[in-house]
Structure 1
């Protein structure tokens, strides 16, 4: 019985450690979309009501992630983040 419980616990923990990063990523993306939509939506609706379309938050979040990836791909920026990572860890 003890081996059975140990196996069940291992399977559960593997599933949990697989699920948690996905859930955190989805939550961060959702929060980013909501924040960008709130910032851009309010500003565009106030100053340029004809330019605002629902969903700009999603578009801006995708663009932000792309720019972040582009910056990290750059050699100087990647080395800077590598140094910062070494200092923090």
Structure 2
């Protein structure tokens, strides 16, 4: 086979791979959206068909969104909150189901959907060993017996940020980064697939990150 034919095949392959690299993520994203749409849309399809004897694609999704909004509206007042607390106490006692329920609730609260206090700041810390760094969140501050400020830092897991480790660190054991809490959470949940551009570590000028005894 001549060199010109080899070059033509190489060009053809490169163009195909370039097109595949562009089309494949779009197709995967569309497939995921269609899959989620079909699941949500089908939740109330049997009920709607039973009562009204007619149905069109998307109606189940629309009704589901309206019902979620109405539930949120009801739970936004005092009596609704009392009902929510009562139902929550029951669900956390149901065997097996309570594990899934608690995990889902923790993820939603971590993402900031609830009104609870969120993480104060996203930082980098040396974890799980010296020389390796992990995204973490400052959750609170305290002082030791000498009056030195210490930080409670939560090092979450990925892609499930509800499981992790809590550390008590000095300022020089923390590396400040210009990443918002929201962007850091997206990075963790996506296993790094979603990562903000132009991320730079901020030099605090207080030494390296090697662990020190408290």
TM class by smaller structure: 0.5 to 0.7
Indicate the residue corresponding to 2:42 in structure 1.
38
Residue segments in structure 2 that go unaligned for 5+ positions in a row: 66-107, 113-117, 119-180, 193-214
Residue segments in structure 1 that go unaligned for 5+ positions in a row: 62-67
User: Aligned pair in 2 of structure 1 residues 14, 34: CA closer, same or farther (>3 Å)?
Assistant: same
Larger Rg computed on CA atoms:
2
Q: Which has the higher contact order (CA 8 A, sep 6+)?
A: 1
Q: CA RMSD in A?
A: 4.1
Provide the TM-score with structure 2 as the length reference. 0.27
Contact 2:41 2:60 in 1 (8 A): yes
Indicate the residue corresponding to 1:29 in structure 2.
33
Provide the TM-score with structure 1 as the length reference. 0.55
What is the count of residue pairs matched by the alignment?
Answer: 75
Distance 1:76 1:20 in 2: 27
Asked if residue 16 in structure 1 is aligned to residue 20 in structure 2, the reply is: yes
- Structure with the larger strand share: 2
User: Aligned pair in 2 of structure 1 residues 77, 11: CA closer, same or farther (>3 Å)?
Assistant: closer
